[in-house]
């Protein structure tokens, strides 16, 4: 996705969150991970995961509830008991804002500085997968530089958006994870300036990156859907690129307008 966006004229910043992702290279050129010296998950990461232990059941309750007020009530109760998740989301948003802040202070004459000087910071799109997608929505809420947000299968939406509004469009892309389709609609439909929703048939949560190409034990455990990895890549690239082309560059999307269809894609909500 990053290479595809860059090949279409976007400057792409991949924001890495040290100690909370699989690997991050830090200033002294060492690599840090979410594992400690003993090989166990770090305490902070473990605390966040623990808060999600009952999430599948609760999201099934949300998506089964009748009416968005009832859905928001269940979500609000659940979200109020996630202090560690809220703290992690705050950190990830702060990381994202810091990266944008630093664009104006890169060493003069470097390739990075010359590239950053050409970035149109009035047209910033934020997107991510899973917690990264949740972060993109919270970033667009708190930072006026976020011109449009997109979430690839991160549900539910943690943070403050359930009781806030943002003057930005937002696109939610759902996999076919059981009990999750539409889990955050009651938040985004009310909060976003324009809300779009696309479901991708045959996908599961890990079909939006490159892990589905690896196969192995995760495929045997049902972590991937029936969709072919190459097809998942083509569709995800098209959705991300067309959405940002429309919202940031004024180029209408044939997918979002439903004038073009793909058999695996269901445009469920579009203004």
Each residue of 67-111: pLDDT tens digit?
A: 999 999 999 999 999 999 999 999 999 999 999 999 999 999 999
By the 8 A CB rule, do 253 and 238 touch?
A: no
For the range 261-265, what are the long-range contacts, defined as Cβ-Cβ under 8 Å and sequence gap of 24 or more? 262/235, 262/238, 263/201, 264/200, 264/201, 264/202, 264/203, 264/227, 264/231, 264/235, 265/198, 265/199, 265/200, 265/201, 265/235, 265/239
Give the per-residue pLDDT at 205: 96
**Residue 231 C-beta-side C-alpha neighbours within 13 Å:** 13
Distance from C-alpha of 157 to C-alpha of 139, rounded to nearest angstrom: 12
Write down the pTM of the prediction. 0.95
CATH assignment of the domain containing 81: 3.40.50
By the 8 A CB rule, do 188 and 137 touch?
A: yes
Per-block average pLDDT, block size 10, for the chain (271 residues)? Answer: 95 94 90 93 94 97 97 98 97 96 93 92 94 98 96 98 96 97 98 98 95 88 94 97 98 97 96 90
Domain ranges, residue 103: 2-269
User: Total structural domains in the chain?
Assistant: 1
């Amino acid at each position: 996705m990053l290479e595809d966006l860059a090949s279409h004229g976007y400057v792409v910043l991949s924001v890495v969150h040290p100690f909370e992702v699989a690997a991050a290279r830090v200033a002294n050129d060492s690599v840090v991970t979410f594992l400690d010296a003993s090989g166990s998950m770090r305490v902070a990461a473990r605390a966040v995961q623990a808060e999600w232990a009952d999430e599948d059941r609760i999201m099934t309750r949300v998506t089964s509830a009748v009416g968005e007020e009832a859905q928001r009530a269940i979500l609000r109760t659940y979200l109020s008991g996630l202090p560690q998740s809220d703290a992690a989301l705050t950190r990830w948003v702060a990381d994202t804002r810091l990266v944008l802040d630093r664009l104006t202070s890169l060493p003069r004459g470097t390739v990075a500085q010359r590239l950053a000087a050409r970035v149109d910071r009035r047209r910033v799109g934020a997107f991510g997968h899973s917690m990264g997608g949740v972060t993109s929505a919270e970033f667009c809420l708190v930072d006026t530089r976020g011109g449009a947000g997109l979430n690839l299968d991160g549900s539910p939406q943690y943070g403050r958006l359930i009781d806030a509004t943002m003057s930005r469009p937002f696109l939610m892309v759902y996999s076919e994870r059981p009990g999750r389709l539409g889990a955050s609609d009651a938040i985004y439909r009310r909060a976003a300036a324009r809300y779009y929703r696309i479901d991708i048939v045959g996908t599961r949560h890990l079909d939006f990156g490159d892990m589905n190409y690896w196969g192995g034990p995760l495929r045997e455990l049902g972590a991937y859907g029936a969709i072919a990895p190459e097809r998942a890549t083509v569709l995800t690239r098209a959705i991300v690129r067309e959405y940002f082309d429309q919202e940031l560059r004024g180029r209408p999307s044939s997918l979002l307008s439903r004038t073009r269809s793909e058999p695996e894609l269901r445009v469920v909500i579009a203004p």
